Structure 1
Amino acid sequence: MPGTLAVTGAGGFLGWHLRVLARSLGLPEPILVSRADLASAQRLAGLIKGVDRVIHVAGVNRGEPSEVAEGNVALARQLCAGLRACTTPPKRVVFANSVQAGNGTPYGDGKAAAAVLLAETTRWFGSQFDDVLLPNLFGEHGRPRYNSVVATFCRLLADGGAPQVDADRELDLLHATDAAALLLGEPAPGGECDTTRRTVRQLADQLTGFAATYRRGEIPALTDRFDVRLFNTYRSHLAPAAVPLSRHADARGALVEAVKVHAGGGQTFCSSTVPGVTRGQHYHLAKVERFVVVRGEAEIRMRRVLHDDVVLFRVSGEQPALVDMPTMWAHDITNVGGGELTTLFWANDLFDPARPDTYPEAV
């Protein structure tokens, strides 16, 4: 298990996933290295002096060809200058490289040249260098038209548009949390760090199907780990919401259809909560979870991990609404009424005490 960590590019897409995973595994809070820190060899040396591992995630993915090629080399050169200025160099330097390294494109050639610089520098002071070749990454809160085609398609669908495929090709895809596990040298949560191959057209069609089903408040078919993570990626581009449910009442009482799942069951459970008590205060890395209050009054709160803004919903059994928890968002539910609160919960998989995918975090 890594000890002290320093991370460049910690504010970006992969950097955020890496920090969330490190938090979930109980690792020390990483030292965050900004672009300004990288630009000063002495300041950088002071930050990374004696750390166990430096993970270099900072990079340039899009822009003018010269900016992309030179940007990745320049960032590596700055890191090397800081490493050489260290009186106690890090034990290990890990580079978030790409399978495209050396493929003749500005991005691939820039990544390859950066790897050479880092390898030579770490060899000079005797540290271990890990050159981690990552495929196309996708995951929650990716930046459209920058991080991946998946993020672009998700954003289009979330805004009511439709993906367009101009040139179809095959992609090897890896979820950003699995990429973070590789960089940290840790087992991937919930499975192996396996890539999944899809064409751009297949991605567009599957995400379009997810969006159409989910707009009805229904859960699409999630047949494997990849499907769950692709669905969670789409959900991350939707603003958290309380979606009203139809309540069918007659002289006998009332009926509410809370969960409709296509090709899968998962687990449904119900809880009662006395006034003033809060449940939850945790987050999930992959679990799809739904809350529906069927009796009483409650406040549901959620906050994206490592962010400050809290989203709050007031819900009631008299006007039922579904609230789905985004992955990597801390959430809780509090009984704010005068009587007992009854809540129905649904999750897409059976609870496994050995792998609960539940991480404590106050909202």
Structure 2
Amino acid sequence: MATDRVVLTGGNGFLGFHVRAALKERGADAVNIPLGHSYDPVNSVRAVEGADRVIHLAGVNRGSDQEVSEGNVVFAEQLAESVQHCSVPPRTVVFANSVQAANSGVYGIAKARSAKILRTAAESVGAEFHDVVLPNLFGEHGRPFYNAVTATFCYLLARGEQPTVQNDSLLSLLHAQDAADQLLGGVAGGSPPKLAVQLTVNDLLRRLVDIARLYERGEIPDVSSEFSRNLFNTYRSYTLRTLAPINLTKHADARGSFFEILRSHGGTSQSSFSTTAPGMSRGDHFHRRKVERFTVLSGTATIAMRRIFTDNVVEFHVSGEVPMAVDMPTMWAHKITNTGPGELFTSFWSNDIFTSQAPDTISEAVF
């Protein structure tokens, strides 16, 4: 996959961010082509020409009925035009469809029409067509009051507010990183039932309230299942400015000092320890799913992190004299640098037992 050339529409959106993060693990990036008013037929054809995989993510899910109906269809028609005008057509065309395509609502009808338009275009040039039907998506950095109810709940809870449920209903939730793998061909077609989880809106809110309650105390909730881990990672993507770093209580007497690094409420875990020479750094990578905590035991350091695809760098200055823990957000490049005159002693904890076959550690410089 590392040598494949991938083209995206909607690459700057919520799902686009997660697809591009998944691509980085494969050593690749994507070309993003704009649609709608910014559509350029010449540049679009040039981008799609000979691509290994074209993934259509762009869509309109907010607006008037006319804007939703016409916007989605126009996007599909523009991409179909580009596919059909290539002298060397793309090998595969993938459509990020929605379970709502089976409904009679305006959005569902527009998604169903878009699928037909893209299927016809792909088949006319001999390209494979994958209609990937996705349920409700959730994940890190979703836009509250827009992308999904999960994002709204997380946003409000991270700010100390209490969300309420007006109309309870059954949800089928899929993490955006799992959706990204599916769109990139890492999972067989169809929405995988083992990854999509069904629960009610009230159940979702109760889970998130429990996560927020524990994490406010610096504790790691039960992350023994993939869904609970993904939900926790989603929640903590809204807490970087409000809960980091995590202050730890230091107890000292004539014998020395003691402090707890963390309390974990379930799931596998791995602890490790490092020394770092003055001026040296460790890290410059990011994780897609791993929960990881850094705690300086002795010495002084700067922990720097940057959300991938942005210049947004956040730094924390930490010391063993005033113990505190910093959790690494998923899809943020991070590193720790020894800023003191002596050796730096650091404890590392993760929920994931490291394996070289699936390290979930992707090289990416913070700056």
TM-score normalized with structure 2 length: 0.94
2:334 aligns with one of 331, 335, 343: 331
What's the counterpart of residue 17 of structure 1? Answer: 18
Aligned pairs for 1:3-14 (under 5 A) are: 3-14=4-15
What's the counterpart of residue 224 of structure 1? Answer: 225
SS in 2 for 1:314: strand
Where structure 1 has 5 or more consecutive residues not aligned to the other structure, the ranges are none
Contact 1:61-1:147 at 8 Å conserved across structures: no
CA distance in 2 between partners of 1:40 and 1:273 (Å): 51
What's the counterpart of residue 278 of structure 1? Answer: 281
Deviations 1:93-135 (A, max 9, x none): 1111111103011111110011111112222222221111111
CA distance in 2 between partners of 1:62 and 1:341 (Å): 51
SS in 1 for 2:295: strand
Letter in 1 for 2:52: D
Letter in 2 for 1:52: D
Aligned alpha-carbon RMSD (Å): 1.8
CA distance in 2 between partners of 1:162 and 1:221 (Å): 22
What's the counterpart of residue 61 of structure 1? Answer: 61
1:254 maps onto 2:251 in alignment: no
Contact 1:61-1:146 at 8 Å conserved across structures: no
CA distance in 2 between partners of 1:123 and 1:348 (Å): 44
SS in 2 for 1:95: strand
Letter in 2 for 1:79: L
What's the counterpart of residue 162 of structure 2? Answer: 162
CA distance in 2 between partners of 1:38 and 1:5 (Å): 20
Deviation at 1:254, TM superposition (A): 1.1
Deviation at 1:37, TM superposition (A): 8.2
Letter in 2 for 1:231: F
CA distance in 2 between partners of 1:51 and 1:351 (Å): 34
CA distance in 1 between partners of 2:19 and 2:102 (Å): 25
What's the counterpart of residue 174 of structure 1? Answer: 174
CA distance in 2 between partners of 1:192 and 1:293 (Å): 41
CA distance in 1 between partners of 2:67 and 2:129 (Å): 26
Deviation at 1:167, TM superposition (A): 1.2
Q: 1:284 to 1:326 in 2, by over 3 A?
A: same
Deviates more, 1:35-44 or 1:73-82: 35-44
Aligned pairs for 1:261-300 (under 5 A) are: 261-264=264-267, 266-300=269-303
Aligned pairs for 1:1-363 (under 5 A) are: 1=1, 3-27=4-28, 29-35=29-35, 39-187=39-187, 194-240=195-241, 241-264=244-267, 266-363=269-366
Contact 2:247-2:325 at 8 Å conserved across structures: yes
Contact 2:36-2:71 at 8 Å conserved across structures: no
Deviation at 1:322, TM superposition (A): 0.8
Letter in 1 for 2:344: L
Deviates more, 1:77-86 or 1:324-333: 77-86
Letter in 2 for 1:362: A
Kindly tell me the number of residue pairs found equivalent between the two proteins: 360
CA distance in 2 between partners of 1:171 and 1:280 (Å): 37
Deviates more, 1:38-47 or 1:126-135: 38-47
CA distance in 2 between partners of 1:109 and 1:264 (Å): 42
Contact 1:179-1:193 at 8 Å conserved across structures: no
SS in 2 for 1:101: helix
CA distance in 1 between partners of 2:201 and 2:337 (Å): 43
Contact 2:308-2:333 at 8 Å conserved across structures: yes
Contact 2:225-2:267 at 8 Å conserved across structures: no
Q: 1:187 to 1:276 in 2, by over 3 A?
A: farther
Deviation at 1:183, TM superposition (A): 0.9
CA distance in 1 between partners of 2:321 and 2:217 (Å): 21
Deviations 1:207-241 (A, max 9, x none): 01100110011111223110000000000111252
Letter in 1 for 2:24: R
